[in-house]
Structure 1
């Protein structure tokens, strides 16, 4: 589900990617509609960098992001499979295995990466 990023969404994106100065996707020319796809595709240099950027988020930010994923507002569709796996490991470490499994179920129900 496409959405317009809220002030909180923008704050989270800029916390994890301080170099973010605009909210337009360089590839599509359209506005960002989620947080994780631009973080993974435009700002993180690799999987380790993606992890380090996630570490900038506090637990409240992470719970908010998880809530958006679970209610279908935050898309993981454009996030590369390796980044999704890193995100799931990160969520497991910070919020627990059950939370990560809920995200995985949502992701797989939306035709996530073929395993």
Structure 2
């Protein structure tokens, strides 16, 4: 489900990718519709850098992202699998295994929009 990034979304994106100056995907030419795919594919140097950036999120911001993921508003389909594994491990550590299982299921059900 595509969305227009809210002020909260933009604040989170600025937290994890302070170098972000615009919200246009260089690959598709479309405005970002999620936070995690551009973080993984445009700003993180590798999976470890992605995890470092995810760890910058407050618990509140991580819970907000999880709500978006579970509602289908935050895309997971374009996130490389090794990045996702680190993300879900961090979710498990910070929010519990039950939440991580729900996020893992959302990832398995997701597709990268073409």
Q: TM-score range by the shorter chain?
A: over 0.9
Aligned-partner Cα distance in 2 for 1:95–1:24: 31
Aligned to 1:48: 48
Q: Which residue number in structure 1 is paired with residue 82 of structure 2?
A: 82
What does 1:28-47 correspond to in 2, within 5 Å?
A: 28-47=28-47
Quick one: distance in 2 between partners of 1:47 and 1:108? 19
CA deviation string 1:75-112 (max 9, x = no partner): 00111111111110110111111100001112212358
Structure-2 residue corresponding to 1:96 = 96
Aligned residues: 112
CA contact (8 A) 2:76 2:111 kept: no
In the alignment, the residues of structure 1 paired with residue 37 and residue 26 of structure 2 have an alpha-carbon distance, to the nearest angstrom, of 12
User: What are the equivalent positions in structure 2 for 1:10-29 lying under 5 Å apart?
Assistant: 10-29=10-29
For 2:109 and 2:31, locate their aligned partners in 1 and report how far apart those are by CA, in whole Å.
Answer: 25
Instruction: Report the RMSD for the aligned CA atoms in angstroms.
Output: 1.2
Displaced runs of 4+ in structure 1, greater than 3 A? none
TM-score by length of 1: 0.94
Using the alignment, how far apart are the partners of 2:109 and 2:9 within structure 1? 24
